[in-house]
Every structure is written in structure tokens, then in C-alpha cells.
């Protein structure tokens, strides 16, 4: 059982790291601000979710788990809203979306 | 296991610094803000990992503050630094 | 020569940071840049204070001093910002000129 | 291993500091400076200074960054003349000056690294039981060196007074709200901000936390609310605002004077109520720091109650 939890935790951690990496690659490689937003905000939120899930599996204390959950939810809500704000501001100021 | 968390934190730090290239290259202001977003989220993750690796629970509070205050920067940017000229009039985005 | 530990490393970093700040303070023209350079100097001093004073267990006295210092730095920065904004107010072009 | 992490962090800090001064545009410089603040908070964590990391994340990076962003919106673009490349002989002179200054700095650094102090940690921990409070840093701030903290509040208060007396520059821009998601976000997050501020105040008693981070979080909540369209009376000249802003320093000074009247030395808390007094001061200070920071943020704007 313990081995199973450790394994799951490790897998989640590695998944989180991979998602962070893919977010950075997207941020660097995509052609304009909207595509970069799309790459970054989703993957990073998910990656943070994976990492805090991995830590929560190991924590063993309720308060700690609740705090991890709160932080993840906060980043989720804040990330989503700030992405939409940035995109909206960019459109309103006349940044043209990339077209092939 | 704690060593592993430290390596993970190191990986995320390196990842975050690579992402800084976007802040340098731009080209538009929102691009640079995005780089800041990446650093904010990654710093939260680094703090969570370090908190477990060094067994300091207070670092979670620092992560909480980062998560809360990252919104402030974006909202100030959108409402004060780079505000829209007004409601879009007849401009339809394709 | 002292051994290369984290504290030594951060002490060295603090000195270099102060150098960057001082250089910026004398070599830039715009008041906001000078303010940023001054803030970098201040951070460098805080870092030096804590990093060089850390021997084994933590010492709360420099920590309290730095906490006080951060607040004072924030207050002076706020005053300086409003002075800079007021000085440059009449130079603002009428269209808003939001493109640095 | 830890050293690799620290070295990477230090290099990034140096690079961002350089960018924060010499980046091509003002906006780039401000963004770099904010990210520098974020990294320096990580450096505080690495130096086991969690209290400072908390304050740096909240005040040094968060609130300062927001102030700088708000200022950028009111500044004209930087004139080209200011970015002119300097002449070669001035560069040479600067380099020579730098080398001359480097020698004493290197000497001082060598001296600092040789220092064999043991600090005051043992003394503080020994007298912690007299202070009736769990966290050593809070004990130093509110008990052993309480007058410093009182004066620190007064410094912030005078900053507010100075900024107010300079007068407003611009009407608050933007009557038009860009996205419907912003007020929704604020309605969702504002209680979280209040809750976190309260939690940090409570934490300050026995761990990292305290009035300053709590005040900064409170201020962030207020600023967010006003920026997303909540109506509030303009801080300048409003009696309620003035009272709330003065609350912290007043409570602090009254406690200090009160114990004097009760026959103790200035700032010597009576042992039986010391913990209670300090919690009271902490709460009052936290509230008024929150309002002071908000006032500093909106000081340059004429009135945001009629618009927004």
C-alpha cells in the first residue's frame, strides 16, 4: 500500500515537471501572445495541480492538504482570469492574432 | 525522497530561468507579463517542493502569498499600465 | 579563505548587486530607473546583513531589522514614485502615448 | 547540490538586477525589477529567513510592483535623449572609478567573511519567555525593539501624508470595465484576501507572519476591489479613512504611554498582559497598514468613487 502511494506520488511529480517544461517550451516557441497564453496558462495550472497532489499524497496532515488544495484552487482561478484579462487587453489595444 | 524534491525544485528553477527569455525578447508588453505569470506559478511550485524538502511548513504561507498577489500585478497592468482606450466601437475581431 | 557555502555565495551576490545598483544610480538618466537602482542597492544591503550574519542557527535581530527596512524602503519608494509622476505629468502627450 | 541551486538563483538575480536598471524600455525594467523581487524572496527562503521572505513577497515584490505599474501608466514615454549612448572617455572614467572603488569593497568583503560573531540569537531565545510570545522575530519587533516598529509605522504614515499633500494628478482612468470576469474574480477572491490577512496576523504570534504581510495582503484585496469597480470614498480627506490610517500608530503610542502612566518604564509591558497587548497592537497595526498602502496606491488619482 505504502509502495503504491509512493509510486503514485512519484508519477504525479514527474508529470507535473513535464507539464511545466511543456509550458515553457510553448511560451518560447509559439508565434504570438494568444497562442503563448494558451500554452502557458493551461499547462502550468495543471502542472501545479499535479505537484500539489503529489505532495498531498505524502503529507499525512489534514491542514497541510487543505492549504495545498487552497493554493491550487487559487492559482487555477487567478490564472484563468488573468489570462482572459491579458488576452482581452491585447485585443482591445490592437494586437493582431497570428495567422498563417 | 526529500532529495528527490530538491532535484525537482532545481529543475523548476532552471525551467523558470529559461522562460525568462520571453521577458527579454518580448516583443509586446503582454508577452513580458506572461513570462512573469510563468515565474509566479513556478515559484509557487518551487516553494511547495522546498517546504517538503526542508520540512519547513511556513514556506507554504509564502507560496500562498505569491499565489494571491500574482493577480494584483496582472490587474494593475490591465487597468492602469496598459488600459484600453474605451469600449471597442465597431471593431470586430476576425 | 572562508569555505564556499550558501552564506558566502549570497554575501558575494549582495556585494555584486550593490555594485549594479550603484552603477545604475550614477549611469542612468531617467528618474524611475534611478529609483529602481536605489531599490536594488537597498535589497543588496539587506541580503548582506542577513547572509553575512548567519552562523548556524538563525538570529532574529537582523531579521527584524530587515523587516523594518523593507517597510521603510516601500514608504520612500511610494513617495519617490509620486514625485516622479508629478514632475513628468505635463510632458505626457495628449493621446496617452502608451507605447514605451 | 544546494550550492547549485543557490548559484543559479544568484546568477539569475544579478542578471535581473542588471535588466532592472538597463533594460531597453521602462516597462521592461519594471517587469525585471518585479521578477528580481520574486527571486530575492526565494533567496530569503534559502537563507532560512522565512519572515523576510513573507514580507518581501507581500511588500517588496507585490505592493511595490503594483505601485510601479500604476506609475508607468501615468508617465510619458522615456525620451530618446535619456537612452543615448555615453561617450567613450566617460565610460573609461567610470571604469577607472569602479576599479578604485573596488579595492576597499573587496577588503570589506574579506573582512565580513572573516567575522566570527555569534549574533544575538541565544539572548533573544533566553528572554523569549518574558515576552509572552512564541515567535522570536515578533518578540524583537513588538517587545524588545518596539520603538523601532512604532517609528516604522510613523514613517509609513508620513509617507501617506506627503503623498496626499502633493495633491492628485490625474482623474482615475477608465470608466469602462474591460472584462466581466474581473468583478467576478474579485467577489470570489476578496474573502480569501481577508481570511489570509487574518491568518497571517494569527500566525505572527508563534511563527513567520505578522502585521506587515497581513496589511499588505489586506491592501492587495482593497486595491483589487477598487480596480475592478467597487465603489469606495476617495481616501484623501475622508474622515473614516484618516481614522483607520491612524489607528495603528495611535494604538501603539497609547499602549506605550499607558504603561508609563501605570508606573512601568516606557514600552515595558506588564508581564501579565504582555501577550494580550501585543496582539492588540498587531491587529490595529495590520488594519492601518492595509489602509495606508491602499491610500499610497490611489493617492495620485483624484476621485474614483464617481467614475469607475
Q: What share of residues in chain D are helix, strand, coil (percent, to 5)? A: 75, 0, 25
Q: Which three cell numbers stand for residue A33?
A: 501572445
- Partners of C74 on chain D (C-beta within 8 Å) are 59-60, 63-64, 156
What the block records as the C-alpha cell of D169 is 494628478
Query: Is D41 in contact with B84 (Cβ distance < 8 A)?
Result: no
Q: Are D286 and D249 in contact (CB under 8 A)?
A: no
Residue A75: is it exposed, middle or buried by C-beta count within 10 angstroms (0-12/13-18/19+)? buried
Burial state string for D73-82 with b = 16 or more CB within 10 A and e = fewer than 16: bbbbebeeee
- The SS3 of residue D170 is strand
State how far the Cα of D100 lies from the Cα of D104, in Å rounded to an integer: 8
**Which candidate in B72, B83, B84 is best for mutational testing of the D interface (most D CBs within 10 A)?**
B72
Which pLDDT score is estimated for C93?
52
Residue of B nearest to D59 (CA): B69
Q: Decide: C10 and C47 in contact? Cβ < 8 Å.
A: yes
Residues of chain C whose pLDDT is less than 70? Answer: 1-2, 55-57, 89-100
pLDDT at residue C44, rounded to an integer = 93
**pLDDT of B78 over the 70 cut:** yes
Rounded to the nearest 5 percent, the helix, strand and coil shares of chain A are 85, 0, 15
pLDDT, position C78? 92
Identify which has the larger pLDDT, C21 or D237.
Answer: C21
What is the secondary structure of chain C as a DSSP string? Answer: -----HHHHHHHHHHHHHHHHHHHHHH--SHHHHHHHHHHHHHHHHHHHHHHT--SS--HHHHHHHHHHHHHHHHHHHHHHHHHHHHHGGGS-TT-----
- Give which of D110, B4, B38, D146 is closest to A54, Cα–Cα: B4
In a domain, C43, yes or no: yes
Whether residue D95 contacts residue D79, with contact meaning beta carbons closer than 8 Å, is answered with: no
* A85 three-class SS: helix
| D302, pLDDT greater than 60 | no
B82–C98: do the CB atoms touch at under 8 Å? yes
Over the stretch D76-121, which tens digit does the pLDDT of each residue have? 777 665 555 667 787 788 788 878 877 887 887 777 777 766 667 7
Let me know if residue C31 belongs to a domain: yes
Q: How many CB pairs under 8 A join A and D?
A: 23
A84 contacts on D by Cβ (under 8 Å): 179, 181
Residue C11's CATH number: 1.10.287.3510
Nearest-by-Cβ selection for B65 from D58, D178, D207: D58
Calculate the average pLDDT of chain B: 82
Residue D12 is predicted with a pLDDT of 93
Q: Is the per-residue pLDDT at D167 higher than 90?
A: no
- Is C100 inside a domain boundary? no
Which residue, among D137, D278, D124, has the nearest Cα to D268 in the 3D structure? D278
The count of other CB atoms within 10 Å of the CB of residue D117 is 9
- B75: pLDDT strictly greater than 90: no
Name the DSSP class of B60: H
Give the mean pLDDT of B47-64. Answer: 88
Interface of D with A in 176-195 (CB under 8 A): 178-179, 181-182, 184-185, 188-189, 192
DSSP string for residues in A63-82? HHHHHHHHHHHHHHHHHHHH
Cross-chain Cβ contact C53/D139 below 8 Å: no
B28: DSSP letter: S
CA dist D255 and D266 (Å) reads: 9
Q: Report which of residues D118 and B38 the model is more confident about.
A: B38
User: What residues contact residue A50 under an 8 Å CB cut-off, 6+ apart?
Assistant: A12, A13, A15, A16, A19
Q: Helix or strand or coil: residue D236?
A: coil
Range with the poorest average pLDDT among B14-28, C86-100, D130-144: C86-100
In chain D, how long is the greatest CA-to-CA distance?
69
CA distance D253 to chain C (A): 17
* Residue found by looking up cell 548567519 in the block: C54
Q: Are D31 and B37 in contact (CB under 8 A)?
A: no
Using CA atoms, how far apart are residues D192 and D202, in angstroms rounded to an integer? 15
Please state, as a whole number, how many other Cβ atoms lie within 10 Å of the Cβ of residue D239: 8
Name the more confident of C27 and D237.
C27
Burial of A5 (C-beta count, 10 Å sphere; 0-12/13-18/19+): exposed
Q: Residue D120, Cβ neighbours under 10 Å: how many?
A: 17
The helix or strand, by DSSP H or E, that contains position D128, with its residue range, turns out to be: helix D128-131
Confidence band of D176 (pLDDT split at 50, 70, 90): low
**Higher-confidence residue: B25 or D284?**
D284
- Where do the structural domains in chain A lie, given as residue ranges? 2-92
What angle in degrees, to the nearest 10, is found between the helix axes of B29-53 and B2-25? 170
Does B21 contact chain D (CB < 8 Å)? no
- ipTM given for this complex: 0.91
CB contact under 8 A, A78 and D185: yes
Question: What pLDDT was estimated at residue D177?
Answer: 60
Per the domain annotation, does C98 fall within a domain? no
Residue D219 to residue C28: CA distance in whole angstroms: 32
Name, of A2-11, D11-20, D167-176, D226-235, the range with top average pLDDT.
D11-20
Confidence of residue D35 (pLDDT cuts 50, 70, 90): very high
For residue D301, the cross-strand partners are D170
Identify the chains in contact with A, defined as 3+ C-beta pairs within 8 A: B, D
User: Count of domains in chain C?
Assistant: 1
Read off the pLDDT of residues D183-195 as tens digits, 9 standing for 90 and up.
888 888 899 999 9
Q: Compute CA distances D281 → C89, D52, D258, whole Å.
A: 39, 20, 13
Interface contact A27-B19, CB threshold 8 A: yes
Span D150-163, mean pLDDT? Answer: 89
Taking alpha carbons only, the member of B74, C71, C64 closest to residue D292 is C71
Cα separations (Å) of C53 from A38, C8, C61, D113? 45, 10, 10, 9
Is residue D34 within 8 Å of residue B36, measured between CB atoms?
Answer: yes
Q: CB–CB of C37/C28 below 8 Å?
A: yes
Q: Is D265 within 8 Å of C47 (Cβ atoms)?
A: no
- Interface touch B80/D19, C-beta < 8 Å: no
Q: Nearest 5°: phi and psi at D149?
A: -70, -40
Phi, psi of B89 (to 5 degrees): -105, 105
> Residue D308: its pLDDT value, please?
34
Task: State pLDDT tens for residues A27-44.
Answer: 888 888 888 888 888 898
Q: Which residues of B touch A39 (CB under 8 A)?
A: none
What local confidence, expressed as pLDDT, does residue B46 receive? 93
- The residue of chain B nearest to residue A59, with distances taken between CA atoms, is B52
Question: Rounded to a whole number, what is the distance in angstroms from the first to the last CA of chain D?
Answer: 52
Q: Minimal CA–CA distance to A50: which of B58, B12, B34?
A: B12
- CA dist D106 and D108 (Å) reads 5
Identify the residue whose cell numbers are 517587469.
D31
Angle between helices B59-76 and D181-203 (to 10 degrees): 150
User: Contacts of residue C98 in chain B, CB cutoff 8 Å?
Assistant: 82-83
Amino acid at each position: 500500500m505504502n509502495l503504491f502511494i509512493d509510486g503514485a506520488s512519484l508519477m504525479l511529480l514527474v508529470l507535473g515537471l513535464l507539464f511545466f517544461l511543456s509550458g515553457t517550451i510553448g511560451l518560447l516557441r509559439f508565434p504570438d501572445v494568444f497562442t503563448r497564453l494558451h500554452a502557458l496558462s493551461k499547462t502550468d495550472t495543471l502542472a501545479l495541480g499535479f505537484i500539489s497532489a503529489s505532495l498531498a499524497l505524502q503529507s499525512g496532515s489534514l491542514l497541510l492538504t487543505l492549504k495545498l488544495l487552497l493554493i491550487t484552487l487559487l492559482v487555477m482561478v487567478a490564472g484563468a482570469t488573468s489570462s482572459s484579462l491579458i488576452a482581452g487587453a491585447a485585443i482591445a489595444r490592437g494586437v493582431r492574432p497570428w495567422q498563417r | 525522497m526529500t532529495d528527490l524534491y530538491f532535484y525537482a525544485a532545481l529543475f523548476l528553477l532552471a525551467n523558470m530561468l529559461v522562460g525568462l527569455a520571453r521577458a527579454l525578447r518580448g516583443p509586446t508588453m503582454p508577452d513580458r507579463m506572461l513570462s512573469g505569470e510563468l515565474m509566479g506559478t513556478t515559484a509557487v511550485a518551487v516553494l511547495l517542493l522546498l517546504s517538503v524538502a526542508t520540512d519547513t511548513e511556513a514556506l507554504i504561507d509564502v507560496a500562498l502569498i505569491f499565489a494571491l498577489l500574482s493577480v494584483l500585478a496582472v490587474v494593475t497592468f490591465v487597468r492602469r499600465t496598459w488600459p484600453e482606450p474605451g469600449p471597442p466601437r465597431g471593431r470586430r475581431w476576425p | 579563505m572562508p569555505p564556499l557555502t550558501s552564506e558566502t555565495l549570497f554575501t558575494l551576490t549582495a556585494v555584486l548587486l550593490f555594485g549594479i545598483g550603484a552603477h545604475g544610480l550614477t549611469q542612468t538618466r531617467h528618474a524611475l530607473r534611478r529609483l529602481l537602482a536605489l531599490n536594488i542597492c537597498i535589497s543588496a544591503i539587506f541580503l548582506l546583513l542577513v547572509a553575512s550574519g548567519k552562523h548556524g542557527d538563525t538570529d532574529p535581530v537582523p531579521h527584524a531589522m530587515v523587516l523594518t527596512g523593507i517597510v521603510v524602503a516601500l514608504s520612500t519608494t511610494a513617495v519617490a514614485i509620486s514625485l516622479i509622476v508629478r514632475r513628468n505629468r505635463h510632458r505626457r502627450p495628449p493621446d496617452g502615448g502608451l507605447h514605451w | 547540490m544546494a550550492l547549485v541551486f543557490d548559484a543559479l538563483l544568484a546568477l539569475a538575480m544579478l542578471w535581473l538586477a542588471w535588466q532592472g536598471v538597463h533594460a531597453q524600455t521602462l516597462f521592461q525594467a519594471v517587469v525585471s525589477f518585479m521578477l528580481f523581487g520574486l527571486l530575492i524572496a526565494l533567496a530569503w527562503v534559502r537563507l532560512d529567513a522565512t519572515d523576510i521572505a513573507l514580507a518581501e513577497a507581500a511588500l517588496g515584490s507585490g505592493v511595490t510592483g503594483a505601485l510601479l505599474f500604476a506609475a508607468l501608466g501615468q508617465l510619458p514615454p522615456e525620451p530618446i535623449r535619456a537612452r543615448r549612448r555615453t561617450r567613450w572617455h566617460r565610460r573609461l572614467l567610470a571604469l577607472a572609478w569602479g576599479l578604485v572603488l573596488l579595492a576597499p569593497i573587496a577588503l570589506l568583503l574579506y573582512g565580513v567573511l572573516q567575522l566570527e560573531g555569534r549574533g544575538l540569537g541565544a539572548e533573544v531565545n533566553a528572554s523569549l519567555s518574558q515576552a509572552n510570545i512564541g515567535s522570536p522575530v515578533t518578540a524583537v519587533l513588538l517587545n524588545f525593539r518596539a520603538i523601532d516598529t512604532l517609528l516604522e509605522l510613523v514613517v509609513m504614515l508620513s509617507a501617506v501624508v506627503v503623498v496626499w499633500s502633493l495633491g492628485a494628478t490625474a482623474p482615475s482612468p477608465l470608466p469602462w470595465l474591460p472584462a466581466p470576469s474581473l468583478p467576478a474574480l474579485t467577489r470570489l477572491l476578496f474573502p480569501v484576501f481577508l481570511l489570509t490577512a487574518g491568518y497571517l496576523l494569527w500566525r505572527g504570534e508563534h511563527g513567520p507572519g505578522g502585521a506587515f504581510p497581513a496589511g499588505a495582503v489586506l491592501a492587495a484585496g482593497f486595491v483589487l476591489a477598487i480596480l475592478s469597480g467597487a465603489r469606495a470614498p476617495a481616501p484623501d480627506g475622508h474622515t473614516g479613512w484618516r481614522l483607520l490610517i491612524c489607528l495603528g500608530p495611535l494604538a501603539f503610542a497609547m499602549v506605550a504611554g499607558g504603561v508609563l502612566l501605570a508606573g512601568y518604564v516606557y514600552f515595558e509591558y506588564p508581564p501579565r498582559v504582555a501577550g494580550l497587548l501585543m496582539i492588540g497592537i498587531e491587529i490595529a497595526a495590520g488594519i492601518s497598514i492595509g489602509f495606508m498602502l491602499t491610500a499610497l496606491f490611489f493617492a495620485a488619482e483624484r476621485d474614483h468613487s464617481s467614475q469607475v
